[in-house]
């Protein structure tokens, strides 16, 4: 099917080239003797009209994209408190951009059409006008000043977190190609950690002797209490990663050798988000696509795709190696009570280390597992059945 499509496109292409040169050749009729390869009045006319048509093309593309893909961008229902501020600034910027784009493209292409060259027409000798220059340097300056101030206000608000605020501290730990989470426990202070402490089940390299580390809890899923400020401390074990949580309008790089920070207040629980009209529609649409794909897969004798239910995601957004494209973590936002119950059942890290030491040879090393993941991945790709072209 695909190979057919490619062939089809190629055939169409050659036909298109042939036809287009023919069209342009036809525009030369009547001036057959003229082949200086310099634009004639006729070329100016044809291309002038095409310029106008191109303006229409730009507008149609814009309209097509907005109508068909306008629901894709994450511009509404942010899941964090600062999200609405970000979205509002985004809307202002987008509207401004579309406004300026519409006008400037119109002027550009309309002038290209309107003033297309004609024999005997003389251009106006107009070299300079300080007033005009002043106007179009100061208008952008004023508009930008507004954007800059709004942006800086929001940025400061997001990035500089009040220390006294009641917040929980959570560590996000990145490595090729997985995430781990460490909760700071009752004392709300993360124990010291360094890759040099990595051993056995202590995959995060926590210093188990540190008093602050005694109540730290490690998990493979990120649960967050709704309505409470969460301060993320981000670390990386090997290369740069980036913790990207698009629904929360949150992102920060994980840098080996340093702890970075990002903070937000989750404002919509997973269940609430699933219940929004916006998300219901989106999930229904996605599931329709998946069903269609599934029937095709089943027909080919492969396993069908699972239906999709919405969950918040944490994805890696900084190129980090071969399996960068599949480094994700499920994020669950729930009520503070549910969160507490969930966390209560988890053993502390120090307890886990003790248990592992009493029953040795249980978990040897994570890193071996990691490279195994990477290898696995390539082999899976390599094993995909070869289709005939």
Show contacts with another protein in window 126-165 (CB under 8 A). 126-129, 132-133, 136-137, 140-141, 144, 147-148, 151-152, 154-156, 158-160
Subset of 287-316 contacting another protein (CB under 8 A): 289-290, 293, 305-306, 308, 310, 313, 315-316
Residue 245, Cβ density class (10 Å: 0-12 exposed, 13-18 middle, ≥19 buried): buried
Q: What gap in Å lies between CA 91 and CA 86, rounded to an integer?
A: 9
- Rule CB under 8 A: say whether 167 interacts with another protein: no
If one asks whether residue 84 binds another protein (CB under 8 A), the answer comes out as no
Q: Which stretch binds another protein (CB under 8 A): 183-191, 224-232, 245-253, 267-275?
A: 245-253
Residue with tokens 């503070």: 336
Site map 93..112 versus another protein, x via CB under 8 A: xx-xx--xx--xx-xxx-xx
- Give whichever of 224 and 234 is closer to another protein, judged by the CB atom: 234
Please identify which residue in 84, 294, 335, 367 interacts with another protein, judged by CB under 8 A. 367
Q: Which residues of 112-130 are buried (b: 16+ CB within 10 A; e: fewer)?
A: bbeebeeeeeeeeeeeeee
Show the site string, 343-362: x = touches another protein by CB under 8 A, - = not: --------------------
Which of 266, 267, 374, 260 has its CA nearest to residue 327? 374
- C-beta of 153: minimal distance to another protein in Å? 9
Which of these, 273, 274, 269, lies nearest to 334 by C-alpha position? 269
Q: If you search the block for the tokens 């499920």, which residue do you land on?
A: 330
Query: What does the block give as tokens for 28?
Result: 């030369």
Nearer to another protein, 218 or 315 (CB): 315
Positions 46 through 75 that interact with another protein (CB under 8 A): 46-48, 50-51, 54, 57-58, 61-62, 65, 69-70, 72-75
Instruction: Identify the DSSP state of 268.
Output: S
Residues 176-205 that bind another protein (CB under 8 A): 176, 194-196, 198, 205
- Asked if 389 touches another protein (CB under 8 A), the answer is yes
Yes or no: say if 355 and 336 are a contact pair by the CB < 8 Å rule.
Answer: no
**Applying CB under 8 A, does 376 fall inside the site for another protein?**
no
Angle (CA) 302-304-305 rounded to 5° is 130
Single out the residue of 260, 276, 294, 335 in contact with another protein (rule: CB under 8 A).
Answer: 260
Which one of 76, 295, 326, 341 is in contact with another protein (CB under 8 A)? 326
Please state the closest distance from residue 225 (CB atom) to another protein, in A: 22
What is the pairing mode between strands 312-316 and 328-334?
A: antiparallel
- Residue 175's nearest CA partner among 385, 320, 290 is 320
């Amino acid at each position: 099917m695909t190979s057919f499509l490619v062939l089809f496109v190629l055939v169409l292409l050659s036909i298109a080239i042939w036809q287009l040169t023919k069209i342009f050749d036809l525009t030369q009729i009547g001036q057959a003797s003229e082949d200086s390869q310099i634009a004639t009045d006729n070329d100016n006319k044809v291309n002038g009209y095409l310029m106008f048509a191109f303006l229409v093309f730009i507008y149609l593309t814009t309209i097509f994209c907005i109508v068909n893909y306008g629901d894709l961008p994450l511009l509404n229902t942010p899941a964090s408190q600062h999200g609405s501020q970000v979205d509002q600034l985004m809307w202002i910027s987008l509207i401004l951009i579309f406004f300026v784009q519409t006008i400037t493209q119109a002027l550009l292409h309309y002038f290209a059409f309107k003033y297309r060259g004609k024999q005997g027409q003389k251009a106006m000798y107009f070299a300079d006008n300080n007033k005009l220059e002043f106007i179009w340097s100061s208008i952008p300056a004023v508009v930008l000043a507004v954007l800059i101030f709004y942006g800086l206000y929001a940025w400061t608000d997001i990035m500089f977190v009040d220390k006294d605020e009641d917040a929980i501290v959570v560590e996000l730990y990145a490595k090729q190609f997985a995430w781990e989470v460490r909760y700071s426990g009752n004392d709300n202070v993360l124990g010291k950690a360094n890759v040099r402490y990595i051993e056995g089940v202590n995959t995060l390299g926590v210093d188990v002797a540190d008093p602050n580390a005694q109540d730290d809890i490690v998990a493979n899923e990120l649960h967050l209490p709704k309505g409470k400020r969460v301060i993320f401390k981000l670390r990386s074990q090997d290369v740069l990663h980036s913790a990207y949580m698009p629904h929360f309008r949150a992102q920060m790089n994980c840098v080996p050798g340093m702890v970075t920070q990002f903070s937000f207040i989750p404002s919509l629980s997973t269940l609430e988000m699933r219940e929004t009209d916006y998300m219901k529609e989106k999930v229904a649409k996605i599931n329709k696509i998946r069903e269609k794909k599934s029937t095709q897969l089943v027909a080919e004798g492969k396993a069908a795709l699972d239906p999709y239910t919405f969950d918040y995601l944490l994805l890696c957004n900084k190129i980090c190696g071969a399996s960068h494209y599949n480094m994700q973590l499920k994020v669950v936002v729930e009520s503070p009570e549910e969160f507490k119950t969930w966390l209560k059942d988890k053993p502390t890290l120090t307890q886990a280390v003790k248990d592992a030491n009493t029953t040795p040879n249980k978990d040897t090393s994570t890193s071996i597992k990691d490279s195994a993941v990477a290898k696995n991945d390539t082999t899976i790709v390599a094993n995909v059945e070869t289709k005939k072209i």
